[in-house]
Amino acid sequence: MNVMVIGGGGREHALAWKLKQSPRVERVYCVPGNAGMRKICEVVPVGMQDFKGLAAFAKAHEVGLTVVGPEEPLCGGIVNVFQNAGLRIFGPSSAGAQLEGSKVFAKRFMERYGIPTARFEVFEDVEKAVEYVRKQGAPLVVKADGLAGGKGVSVCESVGEAEEAVRAMLERQVFGAAGRRILIEEYLDGEEASVLALTDGKAIVALEPAQDHKRVYDNDQGPNTGGMGAYSPAPVVTPRVMRVIEEKVLQRFLLGIQREKIDYRGVIYAGLMIKGEEVRVLEFNVRFGDPEAQAILPRLRSDLSEVCMATVEGRLSGVKLVWDARPAVCVVMASGGYPGAYHKHLPITGLEEAERMADVVVFHAGTEEVKGALVTNGGRVLGVTALGRTMAEAVERAYEAVERIHFEHAHFRWDIGAKAVR
C-alpha cells in the first residue's frame, strides 16, 4: 500500500516515520514535507491547499491511505473532497473539524453534551467585552474563535492584561479573521494534560496520555507557542482520572457526533485541566498534537497504518493498541525569537551524532536542505525524542541528544518532563 502524509512539521515527520515502519506500506508520499521527511518520503508536486489536485495524485499513484497532519486542510474540507473521490483519508469531515476551527462551536458542543469545561461568554464588540472583563475581574482567559496556529490564547493575570488581549484581537485584529469573535473564559487552576483518542464514529479508543509545554520559557513563563516539548505518559492522568475522562469527555463526545450525524474518522484531541479527580476540557483539536505526537508515536508498538485503516473503514471496535511501557520525552529546539520574529537559514550541525544514540529519534519541523547542507527554516526546528526506562532517564537522554545539536540562536526549555519526574 502507498500512503500520503499531508503537512510538513514535526508531527508529520513522526507520522511518516511510524507509517514507514509498517510491512504493509511500500511508499510514503509527503505534501510538502521537510528535509527530514524527504529522506524517507517522496515529495508530491502539488500544493497543500489544492485538494482536488491531491486527490487526483492519490488516484494516479494508487495511494491507499492519506493521513492529514495539520488543522487547516481539515477545516478547509480536504476529507470531503477525498471521500467524494472514493479515496480513504484519515481525519474528520469539515463539519467535525469545526470543533477546532471554531472555539465557539466547540464550547457550545460541550455544553450540549455535558462535557465539563470552563464558563465562557462570546463577544464581537470591544466595549462589551472590556465591560465584561472589568465586571468579572482577573484572572481570565481570552481566546480567538478561529485558527491562530496555537497562539490565539491569552492567559491574563490582571484586568489590564485581559483588556489588552481583547483590544489586540478585536480592535487591532492581530489574528485577522480568526479573532473577529472572541471567547472570555474563567481561569481554571490545576495541571494540564492531553488525551488523544481515535474514533470511527462508532467506537472510541484512547491513546496514551501526554503533557505539552505551551509557554516559551522554563517554569511556564512567556508567551504561548505551538508547543516547546512533551512527554508521555502523563502521571497526572491516573487510572481513576482516565476513567473520568473516558466517561465524561470521550463517550460524551462520541454521543455528540453521533447525534449530530458528523462523519468523524480520525483523532480527537482533548486538552484538559486536571485538579485532583476533577477534569475539564480546555479545548478540542481534531488531529494529532504537535509535539505530543513525537512523544506518543515512538511508544506505539501497533502498526499505525493498520490502526488508521481500521479507523477510516469503521473497524475500530476490533483494535487493541499495544504500547511500549517506557516513557518518552520530546524537547523542541526552536529558532531564537520564536514565537515572534525568528532567524532562518542557519546551518544545523551534530544531528547525526544525536541520532546515533540508542532510543533517540530526531523529528524535523522547520528544516530545509540548501546545496546539500541542513539549515533552519521555521520557528520550531527540531523535536528531539528519547525513550528511557524511567521518566528521569528519558529526560536525561533527550537533553544529552539536544546538546549534541547546534545552530546559532537555538532556544529550548530545560524543564521538559520535570513535572513528571517530580
CB distance 22 to 303 below 8 Å: yes
Q: Which neighbouring-strand residues pair with 152?
A: none
CA distance 5 to 54: 11
Question: Dihedral through CA 58, CA 77, CA 366, CA 147, nearest 10?
Answer: 180
The pLDDT, as a whole number, for residue 124 is: 96
The pLDDT, as a whole number, for residue 311 is: 98
Q: How far apart are the two ends of the chain, measured CA to CA in Å? A: 44
- What structural domains and CATH numbers belong to the chain? 2-91 (3.40.50.20), 125-180 (3.30.1490.20), 189-318 (3.30.470.20), 328-421 (3.90.600.10)
C-alpha cell at 348: 544545523
Specify the pTM.
0.95
Mean pLDDT by groups of 10 residues along the chain of 422 residues: 97 98 97 96 95 98 98 97 98 97 97 98 96 96 90 91 96 94 96 97 98 94 92 97 98 98 98 96 96 98 98 96 98 96 95 97 97 95 98 98 97 96 92
CB distance 377 to 345 below 8 Å: yes
The pLDDT, as a whole number, for residue 340 is: 92
The pLDDT, as a whole number, for residue 374 is: 97
CA distance 148 to 125: 20
The pLDDT, as a whole number, for residue 150 is: 72
The pLDDT, as a whole number, for residue 106 is: 97
